[in-house]
């Protein structure tokens, strides 16, 4: 059974999603500007994600001569910035560049882009391009409600304070095709494969490098081959399969 605080937080998020889906749909129909969208984003941070409006959500946070739309700060510790764009607009590469710039200035690991309806969460690591962690589309019926709840819970005060963002990210990385491909051609795995081949075909003395090449060429799909090289990098907005792994349960507090 999940802890009570998690159950309560997820129920708050679930109910809030229903309410804000209506608010956002009505706002989109009449058309609202970026300032009004920002007000909705602040309310979502408070009503759904559980942050205190007056002590934990700061607007126009100064960062080296510029201002982040919203900063979430708990117990004097910055958690993440939220950069807001008007409801109905498309989030662009330059918007991501803007919020990740703020995040790197303060050594933050996470950055959020939002139009109120769409919430994109990115991981920001030193020396690497930002990678998309997850996306929530509040009014999109094609995205399951439980998926929305789970993803917003990671970002919520309860989930974030448990370290679920980092835990979930590490879990996802373990299942990335690139990582699995590297494991498959590792000496540890290929040694076991080689023993099986020798057992089934005693006269066939397969060399390790020949086996590695055969697996890389014939077993691993073509688009992963480049990731078997040490120089394999990450795309600027590369998405991770955030919905493919069930989040771990947080420890009781």
Low-confidence ranges of the chain (pLDDT < 70): 174-175, 179, 221-253
Task: Kindly tell me the sign of the dihedral angle through the C-alpha atoms of 178, 180, 184, 185.
Answer: positive
- In 3D space, the residue among 178, 176, 209 whose CA is nearest the CA of residue 191 turns out to be 209
d(CA 245, CA 99): 27
- Both tokens of 193, joined, read 């494969």
pLDDT value at residue 56 = 97
In a 10 Å sphere around its CB, with 0-12 CB exposed, 13-18 middle and 19+ buried, how is residue 251 labelled? exposed
> Would you give the DSSP letter of residue 105?
H
Spatial contact of 83 and 99, defined as CB atoms under 8 Å apart: yes
Give me the count of residues in the chain: 253
For the stretch 68-103, pLDDT in tens is 999 999 998 999 999 999 999 999 999 999 999 999
Spatial contact of 16 and 47, defined as CB atoms under 8 Å apart: yes
pLDDT value at residue 251 = 39
Instruction: State the distance between the two ends of the chain, measured CA to CA, in whole angstroms.
Output: 14
Residues of the chain with CATH 3.90.1570: 4-173+234-239
- Both tokens of 144, joined, read 């399951």
pLDDT value at residue 223 = 63
* CATH number for the domain formed by residue range(s) 4-173+234-239: 3.90.1570
pTM of the full structure = 0.75
pLDDT value at residue 65 = 79
pLDDT value at residue 226 = 55
d(CA 25, CA 33): 14
- In 3D space, the residue among 148, 144, 146, 117 whose CA is nearest the CA of residue 134 turns out to be 148
For the stretch 138-165, pLDDT in tens is 999 999 999 999 999 999 999 999 999 9
227 three-class SS: helix
pLDDT value at residue 173 = 76
pLDDT value at residue 252 = 40
175 three-class SS: coil
- Both tokens of 151, joined, read 């993803």
pLDDT value at residue 21 = 98
């Amino acid at each position: 059974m999940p802890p009570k605080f998690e159950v309560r937080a997820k129920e708050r998020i679930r109910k809030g999603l229903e309410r804000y889906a209506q608010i956002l749909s009505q706002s989109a129909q009449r058309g609202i500007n970026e300032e009004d969208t920002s007000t909705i984003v602040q309310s979502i941070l408070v009503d759904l994600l559980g942050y205190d409006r007056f002590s934990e959500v700061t607007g126009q946070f100064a960062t080296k001569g510029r201002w982040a739309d919203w900063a979430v700060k708990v117990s004097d510790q910055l958690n993440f910035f939220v950069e807001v764009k008007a409801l109905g607009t498309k989030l662009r590469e330059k918007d991501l560049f803007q919020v990740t710039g703020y995040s790197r200035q303060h050594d933050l690991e996470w950055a959020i882009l939002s139009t109120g309806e769409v919430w994109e969460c990115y991981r920001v690591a030193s020396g690497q391009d930002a990678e998309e962690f997850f996306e929530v589309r509040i009014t999109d019926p094609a995205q399951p409600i439980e998926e929305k709840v789970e993803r917003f819970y990671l970002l919520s005060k309860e989930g974030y304070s448990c370290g679920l963002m980092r835990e979930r990210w590490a879990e996802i990385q373990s299942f990335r095709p690139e990582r699995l491909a590297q494991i498959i051609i590792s000496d540890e795995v290929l040694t076991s494969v080689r023993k099986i081949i020798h057992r089934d075909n005693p006269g066939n003395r397969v060399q390790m490098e020949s086996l590695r090449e055969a697996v890389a060429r014939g077993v691993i799909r073509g688009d992963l081959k480049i990731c078997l090289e040490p120089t394999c990098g990450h795309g600027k907005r590369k998405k991770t399969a955030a919905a493919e792994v069930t989040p771990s349960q947080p420890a009781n507090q």
